[in-house]
Amino acid sequence: MTQTEALTSTENKMIPTHVAIIMDGNGRWANSRGLPRLFGHQAGSKNVRKIITACLERGIKFLTLYTFSSENWSRPSFEVKGLMTLIGDYIDREAPKLHKLGVRFLHLGRKDELPQSLQNKIRKAVDLTCNNLGITVCVALNYGGRNDIVDAVKSILNSGLKPEEVNEEKIAEHLGTNGIPEPDLVIRTSGENRLSNFLVWETAYSELFFTPTLWPDFSAEILDQALQSFAQRKRRFGGLDVSTANTTSSLET
């Protein structure tokens, strides 16, 4: 879909500023085809640029992708090693292409626990794209929502703040997502109806969309279904109807 077509298809709808996606189902996609799980991860990685491009075309400003959770280290070592290699190769291959599209990369998670070579590739991609204004893609890699809150608490303690000085704003300032708007819409693929320790603090008022589609099969058309569902919801944030809060018109440039 071209940008013009994307804008036409979502005309007069409210587009979320920040969409977060739990990319689930790669392993089941492979198993259903009698293939090793890593083949599913490879298929899923090929879908990432398509969805980034689709979000860019639809005027979404922030996209967070749950790529590898802090709990995923418990998977078989050969699968984890294969994933680290796959992610590193993807960054090497795709970062220059996405840079040309105006994509800015950010990393969420405990980077220092990743292989050094992968840390270097992440840093290179972040530096390459730091001035881009098209869409910010936050890659949640070795990320856990509870870990991020723990790290924020440690940072607050180290900063010397007094207990009476700690509030929601101070905690948010010490999270890895500081400076990034909270997700308006969270999408999870594969039919699982839970958040799995993803953006625990930030999703307090996010709208949720669950689809049975496995991540390698997730398409721009299903993204549009999620956006249509979002546009029909009334967001109250615990109060009155503020359905237009934290959104941008699809007709804005």
Contact 86, 40 (CB under 8 A): no
Q: Rounded distance, CA 3 to CA 233, Å? A: 25
Cα angle value 37/144/132 (rounded, 5°): 90
Q: Which two tokens stand for residue 235?
A: 């967001």
Q: Rounded distance, CA 112 to CA 159, Å? A: 21
Beta strands in the chain (DSSP E): 14-16, 18-22, 62-69, 103-108, 135-143, 185-188, 207-210, 247-249
- Residues noted as catalytic: 24, 72
Distances (CA, A) of 171 to 164, 215, 253: 13, 32, 33
Residue 164: burial class (beta carbons within 10 Å; 0-12, 13-18, 19+): exposed
DSSP label at residue 61 = -
Q: Rounded distance, CA 65 to CA 5, Å? A: 24
- The answer for residues whose C-beta is within 8 angstroms of residue 52's C-beta and 6 or more apart is 63, 98, 101, 103, 135, 137
Q: Which amino acid is at 121?
A: K
